Amino acid sequence: MTNINIYNDIAANVQSGARLIRTADVINETQITHLSEGAIVQIRDEDNHFVAKAIVVKQNKGFAWVFTVETFEYFDEMFIQNAVEVAIEKRMELFDVEETNSFRLFNGEGDGIGGLTIDWYNGFIQINWYSIALFNEREIIVQTLKTVIPQLAGIYETKRFAVSDEDWKIKHTEGSQAPQPLVIKENDVEYAVYLGEDWMTGIFLDQRHVREFIKTQAADLSVLNLFSYTGAFSVAAAAGGASKTVSVDVANRSLDWTKENFELNNISTDPDEHEIRVMDVFDYIAYAKRHELQFDLLVCDPPSFARTKKFQFSAEKDYQELAVDLFDITAPGGMTILSTNHSGYTLNNFRDDMIAASKEISEDIYLIQQFELPQEDFYTTIDPESNYLKVLVFYRG
């Protein structure tokens, strides 16, 4: 087993619960240049004291995930099986929640194995493999899932690591195939998801509490949903009694998928009530400002990086400027909900930038609430890459 020495401050972070090891954390990079995916390494500090064991998983976040800080534990069948079983046991009560039937079943490093996530969609599972090293343990993981979840109907898998052109990336692999769409329920609102077609299924499960908040707040409000994807925030708002929603996304498929989600909940798609626009978000913002439109509730959840014909957006660089416009088109007495899942954009920096943007419009805009990942199923470590979701709610007085 290869020994790798890391800086003492990084070792202290690992002992406090951090699990991601980056190339920059290693004192002598020649120790890791020869390592391949799946190699097990011993992490030691500058004084060569044992710190942890890690598995090499070369994601863009780093090069290895710590799986234990104990000398006697090994990344073997027993360890993997136990990690999956414990993760499912921690979520067992979620299977019995009538109003919500989809959630995160295994959340990578938060459940002891970085680079692996598993989602539960109303009887079906999607496994996301971020490393071939973890995919090589597939048989153990799949068999454990089938053993401990008797109501499991079928399994879909996605390979999020580089594969050859001949290899599959997304596939149904076990059990029954899900209906297309598979209708799931969250907080008594229904959504259409499509398994086996794309990495993104149609809903981001990590935003569950934000959708619930919007549903409880939206009665009689006008709502603008930017970067709306399949319109999940808009549907939650409409289910909560919003007087009008506007959903804006540049992707053509967003139109039919958003309509489908409204119709699943027997909500009219009359554009006078629930408008769906396929257009560049930045063009719509310019349109809204030009026509002096304002909304009682505005939600914006952009990708970390986006490029359209006219604009190139980076959350860390450009979100503050975007937020100024968003606060401007939020009506007095209204709320602005700003979200990012950019792991490199720290909560402190995001919050400072958004507060600064709000003050460019009015001193009467206040941060009133924030959301992070749902703690019932999105278990995390202290690594920023693990607790990536940041959602801020502002009230305009």
CB 237 within 8 A of CB 221: yes
pLDDT number for residue 194: 98
Average pLDDT over residues 257-264: 98
Distance (Å, rounded) from C-alpha 98 to C-alpha 117?
23
pLDDT > 70? residue 195:
yes
Distance (Å, rounded) from C-alpha 255 to C-alpha 271?
12
Burial string for 366-392 (b: 16+ CB within 10 Å, else e) reads eeeeebebbebbbbbbebbbbbbbbbb
pLDDT > 90? residue 226:
yes
pLDDT tens column, 2-30: 999 999 999 999 999 999 999 999 999 89
Average pLDDT over residues 197-201: 92
pLDDT > 90? residue 59:
no
pLDDT number for residue 396: 98
pLDDT > 70? residue 68:
yes
pLDDT > 80? residue 61:
no
Q: Three-class SS of residue 58?
A: coil
pLDDT number for residue 259: 98
pLDDT number for residue 74: 96
pLDDT tens column, 277-302: 999 999 999 999 999 999 999 999 99
pLDDT tens column, 305-355: 988 777 789 999 999 999 999 999 999 999 999 999 999 999 999 999 999
Average pLDDT over residues 99-108: 98
pLDDT > 80? residue 184:
yes
CB 114 within 8 A of CB 65: yes
pLDDT > 80? residue 387:
yes
Starting at the edge strand found earlier in the chain, the sheet holding 365-371 runs 274-278, 244-249, 222-226, 295-300, 330-340, 390-396, 365-371
Helices (H), the chain: 8-16, 77-90, 132-135, 138-148, 208-217, 232-239, 253-264, 281-290, 315-328, 347-359
CB 298 within 8 A of CB 337: yes
pLDDT number for residue 355: 98
Distance (Å, rounded) from C-alpha 298 to C-alpha 259?
20
Q: Which band of pLDDT confidence, cut at 50, 70 and 90, is reported for residue 60?
A: low
| Amino acid at position 349, single letter | N
Q: Identify the residue whose tokens are 């343990």.
A: 137
Write the CA distances from 265 to 33, 186, 200, 217, 366, integer angstroms.
54, 12, 21, 18, 33
pLDDT > 90? residue 165:
no
Q: What percent of the chain has pLDDT over 90?
A: 94
Q: Do β-strands 116-121 and 189-193 pair in parallel, antiparallel, or remain unpaired?
A: unpaired
Distance (Å, rounded) from C-alpha 295 to C-alpha 307?
26
Q: Please list, in sequence order, all residues whose beta carbon lies within 8 angstroms of the beta carbon of residue 190, skipping any fewer than 6 positions away.
A: 183, 184, 261, 264, 265
| Amino acid at position 170, single letter | I
